[in-house]
Amino acid sequence: MVTLRELITGGKIEEVDIFHNLEDMGDYASVVELSIGMFTEAGLEAWKDVLDSQVVLIFGNNMHVEGCTAARLRSFEFSLAGYVSDTLYQMWFRRVE
């Protein structure tokens, strides 16, 4: 299996729903774009558990990962979507064109 970090180090993924288990599908924010270049050093450290999660299954625009809690994954996706303070967003993520 590959980790989420390994997957996005090879390029970017777009328009994907990442979920922890089938029961949680739909409880997350869709990821519009995700690449390793989006993260600051602080972001790589802050989201280490999520980035090091194992990608178990990819089907369509859905990705099942294991290795972090459902709550952490939900926080990660909502943070990526901008549902976090500007201070935290700028600390964790770079704006990539």
pLDDT digits (tens, 9 = 90+) for 21-40: 766 655 667 899 999 999 99
Mean pLDDT of the chain: 90
Q: Give me the residue label for tokens 């924010």.
A: 29
Which of these ranges, 8-22, 36-50, 78-92, has the smallest mean pLDDT? 8-22
Spatial distance between the Cα atoms of 34 and 11, rounded to a whole number of angstroms? 9
Is 0.85 topped by the overall pTM?
Answer: yes
Q: What is the pLDDT of residue 24?
A: 62
Q: What is the pLDDT of residue 26?
A: 58
Task: Give φ, ψ of 77 to 5 degrees.
Answer: -65, -40
Please enumerate in sequence order all residues whose Cβ is within 8 A of that of 7, keeping only pairs 6 or more positions apart, or say none: 13, 55
Spatial distance between the Cα atoms of 15 and 41, rounded to a whole number of angstroms? 24
